[in-house]
Structure 1
Amino acid sequence: MASQVIFILFVTLPVVLCSPHFGGLEPEANQSSIRFLVVGDWGGLPNAPFITPIEWATAREMGRTAEQLGADFVLALGDNFYYKGVKSVDDPRFQETFENVFTAKSLNVPWYVVAGNHDHAGNVHAQIQYSKMSQRWNFPYYYYELNFDIPHTDATLQVLMLDTVLLCGNTDDFQDGKPSGPESSVLANRQLLWLQERMHSSTADFLLVAGHYPVWSVSKHGPTDCLLKRLRPLLVKYKATAYLCGHDHNLQYFKESGVGYVVSGAGNFIDPDMRHRNSVPRNSLKFFTGKSSTLGGFAHMEVTDKKLTLTFIQARGTSLYRTVLSKRNL
């Protein structure tokens, strides 16, 4: 009976825990912060040359930024391989669009990965399996937890990585579709229960939740109704520091109900579309860029025991916007 109970609990609420301390890297002697990069929608092209000029420029600048400002890891927030993901763990796209592009020594750090809608058009399980083939690709399950101690302090950072496609359903980007509802309500509810339990029990000084679809966006896809209904109330209730995502191919930042919302989806394409500017709360949008002249971009974050500093960086090599988020008041 005991073994049966454990099995049921696991099936109902799979808890995949990762507790890396800089992915096995030792912090520098005088380091008292965690630094990382956030990039989404970076997944190249299915045909030669398998990358876009924006992905190439973004990868190059990510390497420079990681070297100059520091990066202990990278959060890769979906649409890792355009347009239909990968077919198997041996798919050459892993080399053509990832390994052969992000080649800077400073990017030889753990990459923590979640899937986007284009990944779900292929074999997401193969991306999970690739974690066994690559020393830096970390994708243990569709959704999972990361815990970090901020070196030489008592402060902590927790990151909850979500699969928003399992939660809300897939969408056809070419039709500007909205997620049509989860393929399995059982799997969607299982993930939501896991998330609620982890957020409820979190004592981290900084709590980040990351997925692919945006909660708020002024661009092509706009706000995701499913996440407004199912995720946003949890972010507010449990005082999340920020929600990180991609999906729209630009850089955006919102502050709403005490939560920061980061859209970092400019890793492969760039889109100036602001058709949903009136679909977000008034005065919530603090920053937006989708200019082709930036050549793409990403976010750099640094977390100390007192604050989280967010900087948007364009692939041309300059910072575009910076803001500071405070530690959680629990």
Structure 2
Amino acid sequence: MALTIVSILIAAIPVAYCYPTAFQDLEEIGTNRTSIKFLAVGDWGGVPYPPYITAVQKATAREMSKVAEQMGADFILALGDNFYYKGVDSVDSPRFEDTFESVYTAKSLKVPWYVLAGNHDHAGNVKAQIEYSHKSDRWRFPSYYYELNFHIPNTGKTLTIIMLDTIMLCGNSDDYVDKKPRGPLRAVDANRQLTWLQERLARSKADFLLVAGHYPVWSVSEHGPTECLLQRLHPLLIKYQATAYLCGHDHNLQYIEESGVGYVVSGAGNFLDPDVRHWNHVPKGSVKFFTGQASTLGGFIHAEVTKDKMIVTFFQAKGTSLYRTVLSQRNFE
């Protein structure tokens, strides 16, 4: 009897962390649509004192609304550090209103926001952010890590986005003076997530496969490459032909290409950092684009996934695109 109870409990544990697979419905699909469009922004989480937002966040939100209206956005990926500096303490925190709901008010941004947690979120109550999904029409944070699947309209092609919790996987960078994570708080949780990820990647037949987390795999800026992700995630991205990896953590915009995978850093939603101290710590020639200048006023990316390619455009908050790249669909031959 005791053994049965234990095995039931063990079977139930992963449910809290990962989310069952299903295809998401895209809202307001026109009959002629043949692509999926989305924005991705990281490190957008305001400040914990009035007015609870920054000038960069405000400018970026305004430009996001314009780009979403003009180019289209079916959803938004929120890449962590959703609330500076210590996340939220409960599902009733006023920060949800002050730093999220009352900032991204444009109609074009009233689309699903798929959320993952950053290191600052883990300083607070991540479960409260997950629970907020039940209180908000657009905040979608079903579990610490989860998978999103989409049919690209009228093409027969599919897009999969795997949302990770890189803090659970690698540890919290804020626990150390040099801001480098030293390993997970609970190895069992890290290993469970990694096993789940490997299974999802191995099984994926998606034409476009994106993985998103807060920490970067490659970055030239203050935090640099994340050693834990280079060891645990990087080989999987290459082995399973991921289209791209999206992240934040460093407060700038970067595009790095290596071994057929695109690495997008979109961490300019609230602060800007022009630091390039790790320029020589990424593979030679891999950096295709970088900006962290205060003059940009902030930034984010717009992506469009069509039947045979993914177009990624980097925008600055002051109203112009800075860089565009095209990624190919996965090749299973």
Cα distance in 1 for partners of 2:132, 2:120 equals 17
Encode CA deviations 1:121-174: one digit per residue, 9 max, x unaligned: 000000000000000000000000000000001100000000000000001289
The amino acid of 2:282's aligned partner reads V
Aligned counterpart, 1:89:
91
Structure 1 position 22, deviation (Å): 4.3
Aligned counterpart, 2:170:
168
Q: Is contact 2:198–2:236 with CA below 8 Å preserved after alignment?
A: yes
Encode CA deviations 1:168-215: one digit per residue, 9 max, x unaligned: 000128944101210000000000000000000000000000000000
Cα distance in 1 for partners of 2:256, 2:12 equals 36
Q: Is contact 2:175–2:181 with CA below 8 Å preserved after alignment?
A: no
Structure 1 position 103, deviation (Å): 0.3
Cα distance in 2 for partners of 1:113, 1:19 equals 17
Q: Is contact 1:17–1:146 with CA below 8 Å preserved after alignment?
A: no
Q: 1:193 aligns with which of 182, 192, 195?
A: 195
Q: 1:182 aligns with which of 181, 184, 200?
A: 184
Structure 1 position 7, deviation (Å): 5.4
Aligned counterpart, 1:313:
315
Q: 2:263 aligns with which of 261, 265, 276?
A: 261
Q: Is contact 2:18–2:143 with CA below 8 Å preserved after alignment?
A: no
Superposed, 1:235-254 pairs within 5 Å as: 235-254=237-256
Seen in structure 2, the aligned counterparts of structure 1 residues 69 and 2 have a Cα distance that, compared at 3 Å, is farther
The amino acid of 1:241's aligned partner reads T
Q: Is contact 2:217–2:234 with CA below 8 Å preserved after alignment?
A: yes
Aligned counterpart, 1:48:
50
Aligned counterpart, 1:328:
330
Q: Is contact 2:144–2:165 with CA below 8 Å preserved after alignment?
A: yes
For normalisation by structure 1, the TM-score amounts to: 0.96
Cα distance in 2 for partners of 1:119, 1:299 equals 22
The amino acid of 2:24's aligned partner reads H
Structure 1 position 28, deviation (Å): 1.7
Tell me if 1:19 matches 2:22.
yes
The amino acid of 1:320's aligned partner reads L
Q: 1:61 aligns with which of 36, 60, 63?
A: 63
Encode CA deviations 1:206-237: one digit per residue, 9 max, x unaligned: 00000000000000000000000000000000
Q: Matched residue of 2:281: which SS?
A: coil
Q: Is contact 1:176–1:220 with CA below 8 Å preserved after alignment?
A: no
The amino acid of 1:21's aligned partner reads Q
Cα distance in 2 for partners of 1:2, 1:302 equals 48
Q: Matched residue of 2:154: which SS?
A: coil
Q: Give the paired residue count.
A: 329
Unaligned ranges ≥5, structure 1: none
The amino acid of 1:244's aligned partner reads L
Aligned counterpart, 1:233:
235
Structure 1 position 243, deviation (Å): 0.4
Q: 1:77 aligns with which of 72, 76, 79?
A: 79
Structure 1 position 116, deviation (Å): 0.1
Cα distance in 2 for partners of 1:234, 1:53 equals 38
Structure 1 position 27, deviation (Å): 1.0
Encode CA deviations 1:296-324: one digit per residue, 9 max, x unaligned: 00000000010000000000111000000
Cα distance in 1 for partners of 2:321, 2:25 equals 25
Seen in structure 2, the aligned counterparts of structure 1 residues 10 and 259 have a Cα distance that, compared at 3 Å, is farther
Q: Is contact 1:295–1:315 with CA below 8 Å preserved after alignment?
A: yes
Cα distance in 1 for partners of 2:216, 2:82 equals 16
Cα distance in 2 for partners of 1:54, 1:12 equals 37
For normalisation by structure 2, the TM-score amounts to: 0.95
Q: Is contact 1:266–1:297 with CA below 8 Å preserved after alignment?
A: yes
Q: Is contact 2:18–2:144 with CA below 8 Å preserved after alignment?
A: no
Superposed, 1:296-311 pairs within 5 Å as: 296-311=298-313
Q: Matched residue of 1:68: which SS?
A: helix
Encode CA deviations 1:255-285: one digit per residue, 9 max, x unaligned: 1011000000000000000000010000011
Seen in structure 2, the aligned counterparts of structure 1 residues 154 and 5 have a Cα distance that, compared at 3 Å, is farther
Cα distance in 1 for partners of 2:5, 2:28 equals 39
Structure 1 position 17, deviation (Å): 2.5
- The alignment-based identity, stated in percent, is 67
Seen in structure 2, the aligned counterparts of structure 1 residues 22 and 295 have a Cα distance that, compared at 3 Å, is farther
Cα distance in 1 for partners of 2:234, 2:275 equals 24
Unaligned ranges ≥5, structure 2: none
